[in-house]
Each structure stands twice: as C-alpha cells, then as structure tokens.
Amino acid sequence: MTSTVDTARSAGTPPPAARPGARRRARRPLSETALPYLMLAPAVVVMLALLAWPALQVLAISFRKLDLGELVRGEIKWVGFDNYTSILTDPEFWVIGLRTLLFTITVVLATLLLGLGIAVLMRHLSGWVRGVLQVCLVLAWATPIIATTTVFQWIFDQQYGILNKTLVLIGFDSFKGYSWFTSGTSTLAVIGLLVIWQAVPFIAFTLYAGLVNTPSDLYEAAAIDGASGWSAFRAVSWPSVRPLLTLVTFLSVLWDFKVFTQVWAIRQGGPDGESTTLPVLLYLRGIAASHFGVSAAVAVLMLVVLVAVTWRYMRLLVRSPETEL
Amino acid sequence: MRSWSKAMVGGFAVALAVAGCAGSGSGNDTGGQTSAPSGPRTLTVWLMNGSAPTVLTDGLHKEFQDSHKDVTVKYEIQQWNGIQDKLTTALASNDAPDVIEIGNTQAPKFASENVLEDLTANVGDFNGANWLSALKESGSWDGKQYAIPFYAANREVLYRKDLFEQAGITAPPTSREEWLAAIGKLKTKFGSDPDFQALYLPGQNWYTLLSFIWDEGGDIAKKDGTKFTATLDSPEAKAALDFYKKLVEESGTKAPKDADEQTPEQAGIYGGGKVAMFIGLPWEVGTAAKSDPSIKDKTSAFPIPSKTAGKTAPVFQGGSNLAIPANSKDKDLARDYLKLIASDKYQGEFAKVGMIPGTSKDVSALEADPVNAAMAKASVNGRAVPATPGWATIEAGQNPIKDLLTAFLTGAKPVDQATKDANETLNKAFSG
Amino acid sequence: MLHKSPAQRVALAVFGLVLAGFFLFPTYWMFTTALKTPAQILSPAYDLVPLSATLKNFVNAITKPGFTTFLTNSLTVTLGAVAFALVAGLLAAVPLARLRFRGRKGFIMLVLVAQLAPLEALFVPMYLIMRDADLLNSLWGLLLVYVAFTLPFTVWTLRGFVKGIPIELEEAAMVDGCGRWGVFTRVTLPLLGPGLVATSVFSFITAWNEFLYALVFMREKDKQTLPVWLSSFKTAFGTDWGGIMAASVIYAIPALIFFLLVQRKLVSGSTAGAVKG
C-alpha cells in the first residue's frame, strides 16, 4: 500500500515539493498509509449501505417473484429469468426503450446548451442583472415538483390555459381550445420543457462555479493578446469548464433517463400510452401492480442501458484515473 | 478492474443470500390467534384524509376506549398521495396497523394476495345483512371476505334549477329522450352566449360510460371464478359509446376530449356559472360553491337517466373498504373495532355528510337534501368494476377505457378498432 | 471581453432579463394562483396580471395543523443532510484527487454505479434495510438516506474542484511553513468555495423536495416533512389548488434563503483566485 502525492501535473520538471513526498514514501508510517482510507470511510459506509447494497438486492429481487403477498410473508420464490423474458418478449418494451433514449438525448442536449449558455452569460452580466437571473433560477429549481407540474398543466390547459389565451390574444386564433396533448410527441415535448426548465438551474450553477474558478487575469491576458469572445472562451474558459461539463452530461443522462414524477404527472404516460417511458413502465407494471420482481427487472435493464450509454466515460474514469476527469 | 469485478461477484453472492432472508423478519411471529396480551394495548387505525367525518371518529374512539379500558386508539390520517407504497411497506413491517381503509378498486389486489385477515366468519357481526353489494364484492376474493364495506358514493347529474326553470323545463329528466330534450331547450334559451354549456362532459368521464354500458345490459368484463375476460367490444358497449358521443355533440360541451373530469376540475367550471349540468358526485357542489357560494341553493340533482323511461341507469359505486392486515398484532381487538364502526349508529354519520353508508341500509339522512337524495335513489342500482387485482394497475393510470373514449370521440380510430384495442389492453391488465 | 461597449452591455442585460423571465414565469404563475380565489383559477378572463388578490390561501396554509412541526422536521433533516454530505464528500474528494492508493478504482466505480439505479425501484430493499436497522420513523434514518442520495454527486464534483486547484499553491504554502491543516484551511478550502456552494445547494434542494421516502419511512405524523404536508391539500373530495400554490410559495422560501446565504461564496471563490497571484 503506497501513498504518494500526486505529481502527475508537474511531470517533467520535478518541483521542490517532490522531496517531502519522497521522504514520506521512505518512512511510510501507518498513519500515512491509512489516511486516505480513513478519509474515505464515512462516504464509503453510507454509499455501500444505502445505495450499493439495496442496488444489489434489486438485482437479486429481479430473479424472484415478489408480489405483495411474498413481501408481507417474507417468502422467497426464485423464478430465474421469468421476469426478464416477460418484459423482453413484449414488443412494447422495445418501443418504450427507444422512446426513452430519444427523449433523454433531446432533453440532455437542450439542457446542456442552455445551461452552458447561461453560465457564460452570468459571468458577463453586470451585478444586479446577474443577481436577478440567479434568483429566478433558484426559484425555478426550488419550486416543489407538485406545484410545477400542476402549473405546467394549467399553463397548457386547452380552455383556460394562459398560453392559449395569450396566443389567441396576439392573433393566432387557431389556438383557441387547442390541445397540446393529442399525441405522444407533443405531450413529451411539454414534459421535456418542464424537465429542462427544472434542470437548467443546476447545470448553469455548476458550470458557473467552474467558470468563476478561472482566474480573471487569464481573461485579461487573452484580451490583451487580441482574442475575440469565442476564441477567448475556447482558450481560457473551456479547459476549466470541460471536466465539469463532462460530469454534468453524465449526470444529466442518468437523471433524465430516470425521470418519472414529471412524466407521470402530466398525462400518466398517455395519450394511449404514447408518452410512456421506461420509469413509467417500471411503475405501472411493477409498483402499481405490486410485482416488485418485475419492477426490479425493469430497473436492472435500465441500468444496463445506462451503462451501455455511458460506457466510454466510465471506462475512461476507471482505467486512467490520472486523466482530467 | 479484475479485482473489482471479483468483489462485485462476491458481493452479489452475499446479496442473493441475504436478499433471500430480507423480509423474513416480519410475519412469522405475528400470525395466528394469539391470546390477547394483558396490560395497556394500542390499536393503530389508518383512515384516509377526508373520509370519516370527525364527529364519527371522535365519538367512536371515545366509546371504544370506554368499553376497552386498557386500550388506546392510535388514529392516524393518511394522505392519498403515495398511499399504495405506504400501505405496501406498512403491511410488510413488524409494526403493521391493526385496521386500514383501502379504496374499493384497490381492495381486490390486497384480498387476492392473502395479506389481509379472513373475515368470512364475522360477516354477521359486522351488520353483514345490510352491506352494499358493490363494496362487498370488492372486498371478497375466491369466496372469502377479506374487507368489509365502509362507505360509498355514486355519480348523478347535478343541474341548475334556475336555468332549467328559465328554459321551461318543468321536471328533471327521467329518460334519455327527456335528457336530450332538456339539452335542446337549454341551448335554445341560452345558446346565444358563446360560453354557455348545457352539459359539461369531458371526453374521459369513463364512470359515465360505465353507466351507459350497464344500462345497455353490457358490462366491462365477464366473470368466471376469479378470472375476468373483457367485453368492451360487445354491441352493448358500442351502443353506450354512441350515446356518449351523442351527448357530447348535442350538448356542445367545450370540455377537452382527451382529459377526465379532474383536469381541469369540472366543479370549478360549473362554479363559473355558465354550465347548466354536469355528471359528478354530490360533494362537488361544495367545490363549486367555493367559486360561487350562491350556487349551492341553485343546484339540485337527478339520477343518470336510463334508456328505459322511468328507471335510473346503473352507477359505478366508488368508496372504501375496511380490513385487518394479516400482520396485525391484536386481531381480536381490531374485530371489536370493526364491529363498532359497522354499527348503524356510526354508519349514520356518513349519511349525514352525504355519503352512502357501507354497512347500513338507513339512508334517511340523505333524503333531506335533494342532491344527496338523488344519489341515494340511484345507489340502489350500484355496480362495481371487476374485482380483480389487475384493476389496481388500470386505476393507477393508463386506463384503456379513457383511451377508448378519446379515440372514439376524436375519430382517431373507428369504433371497432378502438373497442378491440381497449379490450386487448384490459385483458392484458387482468392477466398481469 | 471584459471591455464591452455600452450597447453590448445593454444587449446582454436585456438578454439576461428575458431568460430570467422565462425561468421565473412558472414560479410567478404559482404565486399569482396563490393569490386567486377558486373562481379565478378556472376563469376565461385574461389574467396575466392578477385582477385582484386575496391572502386567504396563505393564511389557510400557515394555520393548517402541524405546519411548524413539519417545517422543523424538514429543516432538521435537510440541513443535517447537507452538512453531513459536505463533510463526508470533502473528506473523500481530497484523497481521491490528490493521493494514489489501493482501492481507488473500486471507489470511483462505486461512486459511479451508485447513481445508476432508479430510486423508485430502490425503495422496497431500502425499506427493509431501514426496518432491520430500526431506523424507520427516525429523522436520523431519513437524514442518512438523503446523504446517500446526494453523496455521489458531492464527492464527484468536489473532487473536480480539488483537482482544479494548482498543486503548486498547496506546496508553496507547505514550504512557507503551514502545516497540513493550515494548507487545507487557508488555501484549499477558500478555493473550493464555488464547489461547496454548488453541491450544498444541490443537496439542500434534493433533500428538501423528496417525497416518497419521507412518506414511507416516517410512519408517525409528527415525524413527517413538508412535502408530505403539501400533499395533504389533496383529499378524496378534490384539491385545494389555491392552498397548494400558497403552500408551495411558502415552501420555496427556505431554499431561496439558503441560496442567498451561501451564494456570496460564488463570488468570493473567484476573488480567492487572487491568492494565486
């Protein structure tokens, strides 16, 4: 077990601080070796006990028949791959899976573009305008989901919604009594807007936090060098934002793929099941029907899809931990 | 990476072993009719938010604790949001409640899973002769009774007396023809107002469609033992759809065709004053009165008319059942509690607040108010949805009958296709 | 870029305000609905600006029984979870970014995979774990659950921020005679300001808004949190929409206060960069 100061950054010219590291390596007292483990311990314990362990149980449950009765009586019924075959042989699953992927990609792209744009904008805004924008973003983020989903339904209501009323007022008479929920695509578009609206503040704040960490003298240097806005961004901001951007992309993919409450609240996956996504399927087939084995199997399949989608990123992280994020 | 995956496999094996045991902590030590423990006891009762009036529970709990000196009733009001998840986990816990209220469309799922105490032998103790048949049905599974009726309500046509009078309608309609004629008269009188609706009927008011299907002599599904087969493609169902469409077209309702009576809340629209009739529950008048307090006095009701003049159409009876979880620690005490709550005295409180008592035939308190009286009149013909665990999924969302209505009313699918699709989805839900 | 013409400044400000309006609108709509009477909520009138206002919904919401209990519970659990997640996350982020040790890859994998499972599917095994640990009905138990939900993100983000601090800075301070602790408190921590703000706001809002686990794990009424309180405006007899909106406005206020309290760090983080010069 070795513990050294990470010197990857200053490879080439050994900095003076390399010496304390070398000295430490020579002595290797127990406290030094144990230090990283002690520091990691609280996080490891919580994550193992409350995330990894239940996740492994979900995996185990996906091979069981676990309905309400089995759960209450504590019975174990192994059914092998039955839960998986029942899901995978249903042609609907593949349609829903593809739809969920497309929905995720669209929402993630839109969220990231908007979030990055706002983060950069915040850096260039004068004090009070930035303050106003930040407060509005936090309000959007902090508003409880039960309120936002309801408000979105009202805004888009076909008779009384402010959107249709406004469109009619400014001359688009065809929107009188227009229904925004007639097809799965339009329903998903409204849901997507709701998800984007709620997710952008987080992305914008995280990226902004990365941007303000870029020393402003670097910008000044770039400006003196005559760099225009875009090339200054490429040269100065991009390197400090890129790792965070990769991180929030990864997280957005995970979150948007798993989003349930908003999809469910708007139209329960309707009309005619056309806005049903995988989490809705998990809820309907598994939890509402109390077939927890089936819901576990859907969860595992979702996990497989997520791993497949984020595989490159995860492998990069695990294989070469020294690379920048 | 390799060492990690080894750890993963190892962890998985342990998980399998332990997940096998998970859940075994409960149930084993609580089953059976153990002798009542001595010393102070607690009876945990879960009723839903807004179900039993406070007058009822206050009086009931006082009387129960007076007659059971060593018992404290722990009464906890539950929220509707997330109740499924909460009940599921509570039933599996080593600290399960002793009496629970379950929605009657949820009841078959719980009954069929054998997680509730079998009450078949006690039906007589709980006023069994006076039970509402629709709720009795939803609480039974495979010939055994797992849940007893609590209270119910059914839909009726709520209407504006003043508008009817001005349009020259002298008596509330008692047949489909009279109903359509009344719509015609209202339109002649008030049709010049573009916001006026003779009848507010959203496209997905599927409870109303059920009434029409039953009235035609059809049903949602055929029962065979504990198995159900959907019959939405029957000629009766198609006739019912036609009448529904006729109502929508004749009334010129502006209600959305792709939403139910909750989105937006129909009572609120009725409260706006431009609607002469809507199909709803008695207490929706109260919701409407929040918008316009004067509307309460202007509102009366009549049962949904039948195609046979003079009769009333059968109605879906929605409500709640009461049950004792199999994991309850004191089932005898819970039985005593059910006995008291099922007595005429406390059931009468439901009638007073405008609901139909589940275990009492005494509905005289409903007669005083015309809105409640119409519900009581129609309730004689109360019906239930198929008592099958699969119905819980339909109730949770994605109701094929709602999709059927929208597809048919908007013309998205021809009637044969729409009914065939709905039938298939329903059968799939019944089998899942 | 730092030297903009007045026209550019105005254009940027207008653009910023338009975006602010877009993000504010649903919240604004929630607020004006909270000021409406039931008759006005479903009204055909054009009411982009409220035509009249009532505070009745707010009074009803605050006087609804249990509000202060639920508020206290929510604050306790949320602030506790934020503090725990920050400390544990920072402790894990530093060695992850700075030290090489065995099991590092395994830990990274754990952090990554921990975020993959859908929370809706985890609640049954999670319930069994909490039951066996005797942590049901305990604010501590719920606090730990929220720590678990927010920790992977906290660790990961803070690791990125620690890595972003040039190691030469820490080493220089070390040479100047600061001890490890001195380096950490005087150099590392101030530079982490923006990262700490971003992660703590994230933890706060995640814990503050969580409904399902709070509902299922907290059996007793006096242990429940605000999201559960919010759902009590829905009954079998319809929903008090004005009440829900008023309650939601009240509900969003603590999150806003929390943000305003910590957001100065977002600025001070950038000035801390001056240390480098």
pLDDT score of A204: 93
Domains of chain B: 42-153+318-383 (3.40.190.10), 156-316+386-431 (3.40.190.10)
pLDDT score of B247: 97
Residue B95: helix, strand or coil by DSSP? Answer: coil
Query: Residue A247 is encoded by which pair of tokens?
Result: 């991180």
Q: What is the largest CA-CA distance in chain B?
A: 86
For A17, list phi and psi in degrees, rounded to 5: -70, -5
- Tell me the residue range of the domain where A241 lies: 82-319
User: Which of C168, C209, C277 comes nearest A144 by C-beta?
Assistant: C209
pLDDT score of B124: 93
Is B23–A270 a contact, with Cβ atoms under 8 angstroms apart? no
pLDDT score of C221: 81
Q: What is the mean pLDDT of residues C139-153?
A: 93
In total, how many domains does chain A have? Answer: 1
Residue B144: helix, strand or coil by DSSP? Answer: strand
Mutate to test the interface with B, among A1, A77, A260, A272 (most CBs of B within 10 A): A272
Beta strands in B220-353 (DSSP E): 221-224, 227-230, 277-280, 299-302, 315-323
Candidate from B78-82, B169-173, B190-194, B304-308 with smallest mean pLDDT: B78-82
Establish how many alpha carbons lie within 13 A of residue B125's alpha carbon, considering only the half-sphere containing its beta carbon: 14
pLDDT score of A245: 87
Residue A289: helix, strand or coil by DSSP? Answer: coil
Domain assignment of residue A163, yes or no: yes
Q: What is the mean pLDDT of residues B73-98?
A: 88
Residues 240-269 of B with CB under 8 A from C: 264-265, 267-269
User: Which of A75, A179, A272 comes nearest B407 by C-beta?
Assistant: A272
C33 contacts C41 by C-beta, under 8 angstroms: yes
Return the CATH fold of C65-272.
Answer: MetI-like fold (1.10.3720)
Task: Kindly indicate the confidence band of residue A325, based on its pLDDT and cuts at 50, 70 and 90.
Answer: very low
CA distance A107 to chain B (A): 24
pLDDT score of A214: 65
Domain assignment of residue A41, yes or no: no
Give CA–CA dist A290/A67, Å, rounded: 5
pLDDT score of A4: 41
Residue B312: helix, strand or coil by DSSP? Answer: strand
Query: Residue B205 is encoded by which pair of tokens?
Result: 């008011």
B92 lies within 8 A of chain A by CB: yes
Each residue of A12-65: pLDDT tens digit?
Answer: 333 444 344 444 444 556 667 788 899 999 999 999 999 999 999 999 999 999
Query: Residue A322 is encoded by which pair of tokens?
Result: 């020294």
Cβ neighbours for C277, distance < 8 A, ≥ 6 positions apart: A215, A217
Nearest chain C alpha carbon to B15? C125
Establish how many alpha carbons lie within 13 A of residue A216's alpha carbon, considering only the half-sphere containing its beta carbon: 13
Is C236–B79 a contact, with Cβ atoms under 8 angstroms apart? no
A147 lies within 8 A of chain B by CB: no
pLDDT of C180 strictly over 80: no
pLDDT score of B115: 94
pLDDT of B325 strictly over 60: yes
Domain assignment of residue A324, yes or no: no
CA distance B268 to chain C (A): 7
Q: Does C49 or C140 have the greater pLDDT score?
A: C140
For B45, list phi and psi in degrees, rounded to 5: -120, 125
Is B1–A269 a contact, with Cβ atoms under 8 angstroms apart? no
- CATH 1.10.3720.10 occupies which residues in chain C? 65-272
Is C106–B86 a contact, with Cβ atoms under 8 angstroms apart? no
Domain assignment of residue A23, yes or no: no
pLDDT score of B392: 84
A31 contacts C139 by C-beta, under 8 angstroms: no
pLDDT of B331 strictly over 90: yes
pLDDT score of C174: 79
Task: Kindly indicate the confidence band of residue C51, based on its pLDDT and cuts at 50, 70 and 90.
Answer: confident
- Sign, Cα dihedral of B224, B228, B230, B236: positive
Each residue of C60-74: pLDDT tens digit?
Answer: 888 888 889 999 999
pLDDT score of B107: 92
Which amino acid makes up residue C58?
F
Query: Residue A199 is encoded by which pair of tokens?
Result: 């997710």
Q: Quote the radius of gyration of chain C (alpha carbons, Å).
A: 23
Mutate to test the interface with A, among C8, C14, C27 (most CBs of A within 10 A): C27
Nearest chain C alpha carbon to A159? C44
DSSP state of A65: -
B97 contacts B334 by C-beta, under 8 angstroms: no
User: Which of C24, C94, C241 comes nearest A136 by C-beta?
Assistant: C24
pLDDT score of A54: 92
A72 contacts B27 by C-beta, under 8 angstroms: yes
pLDDT of A254 strictly over 80: yes
pLDDT of A153 strictly over 80: yes
pLDDT score of B33: 41
Residues 155-194 of A with CB under 8 A from B: 157-160, 177, 179, 181-182
From chain B, the residues in CB contact with C231 under 8 A are 79-82
CA distance C203 to chain A (A): 11
From chain C, the residues in CB contact with A148 under 8 A are 26, 30
pLDDT score of B28: 38
Subunits close to A (at least 3 CB pairs below 8 A): B, C
For B272, list phi and psi in degrees, rounded to 5: -70, -15
Q: Residue ranges of the alpha helices (H) in chain C? A: 6-34, 38-41, 56-63, 67-98, 104-113, 119-132, 139-164, 167-175, 180-183, 189-191, 193-209, 212-217, 226-231, 241-262, 264-272
Average pLDDT of chain B is 89
- Sign, Cα dihedral of C170, C176, C180, C181: negative
pLDDT score of A320: 57
C109 contacts B4 by C-beta, under 8 angstroms: yes
Q: Does B46 or A142 have the greater pLDDT score?
A: B46
User: Which of A57, A159, A283 comes nearest B15 by C-beta?
Assistant: A57
Each residue of A60-107: pLDDT tens digit?
Answer: 999 999 999 999 888 999 999 999 999 999 999 999 999 999 999 999
Mutate to test the interface with A, among B116, B263, B394 (most CBs of A within 10 A): B263
Is C231–B82 a contact, with Cβ atoms under 8 angstroms apart? yes
pLDDT of B26 strictly over 50: no
pLDDT score of C276: 34
Candidate from B20-24, B221-225, B296-300, C254-258 with smallest mean pLDDT: B20-24
Q: What is the mean pLDDT of residues B317-330?
A: 94
Domain assignment of residue A262, yes or no: yes
Give CA–CA dist A232/A221, Å, rounded: 9
Residues 96-135 of C with CB under 8 A from A: 96-105, 107-122, 124-126, 128-129
Q: Residue ranges of the alpha helices (H) in chain A? A: 18-27, 30-47, 53-61, 68-73, 82-88, 91-124, 127-142, 145-155, 162-169, 184-212, 216-224, 229-232, 238-258, 261-267, 278-281, 292-319
From chain C, the residues in CB contact with B265 under 8 A are 42, 238-239, 241
Q: What is the largest CA-CA distance in chain C?
A: 73
Question: A129 to each of A135, C23, C265, how far by Cα in Å?
Answer: 10, 14, 18
Between the CA atoms of C148, C153, C159 and C161, what dihedral angle is there, to the nearest 10 degrees?
Answer: -130
Is C124–B89 a contact, with Cβ atoms under 8 angstroms apart? yes
Subunits close to C (at least 3 CB pairs below 8 A): A, B
Mutate to test the interface with C, among B89, B260, B290 (most CBs of C within 10 A): B89
Residue pairs spanning A and C at CB distance below 8 A? 338
C144 lies within 8 A of chain A by CB: yes
Residues 80-109 of A with CB under 8 A from C: none
Which amino acid makes up residue B415?
V
Q: What is the mean pLDDT of residues A246-252?
A: 88
Domain assignment of residue A275, yes or no: yes
Percent of chain B with pLDDT over 70: 91
Average pLDDT of chain C is 85
Give CA–CA dist C104/A36, Å, rounded: 9
B156 contacts B284 by C-beta, under 8 angstroms: no
- Sign, Cα dihedral of A144, A145, A149, A150: negative
Q: B71-75, long-range: CB within 8 Å, 24+ apart, which pairs?
A: B71/B40, B71/B41, B71/B42, B71/B43, B71/B333, B72/B40, B72/B41, B72/B42, B72/B43, B73/B42, B73/B43, B73/B45, B73/B337, B74/B42, B74/B43, B74/B44, B74/B45, B75/B45, B75/B47
User: Which of B4, B82, B265 comes nearest C215 by C-beta?
Assistant: B82
pLDDT score of B420: 96
User: b/e string for B73-93 if b means 16 or more Cβ within 10 A?
Assistant: bebebbbbbbbbbbbbbbbbb
CA distance A67 to chain B (A): 8
User: Which of C3, C16, C147 comes nearest A121 by C-beta?
Assistant: C16
The CATH number assigned to the domain holding A285 equals: 1.10.3720.10
Each residue of C100-137: pLDDT tens digit?
Answer: 888 888 888 888 887 887 887 888 889 888 888 889 88
A279 lies within 8 A of chain C by CB: yes
Nearest chain B alpha carbon to C131? B93
Nearest chain C alpha carbon to B295? C39
User: Which of B19, B114, B397 comes nearest A69 by C-beta?
Assistant: B114
Nearest to A94 by CA among A257, A325, A305: A305
Give CA–CA dist C123/C145, Å, rounded: 10
Domain assignment of residue A101, yes or no: yes
C219 contacts C172 by C-beta, under 8 angstroms: no
Query: Residue B419 is encoded by which pair of tokens?
Result: 């009914």
Nearest chain C alpha carbon to B292? C39
From chain A, the residues in CB contact with B110 under 8 A are 68
pLDDT score of C17: 95
Question: B87 to each of A146, B99, B200, C12, how far by Cα in Å?
Answer: 21, 11, 36, 53
For A67, list phi and psi in degrees, rounded to 5: -95, -175
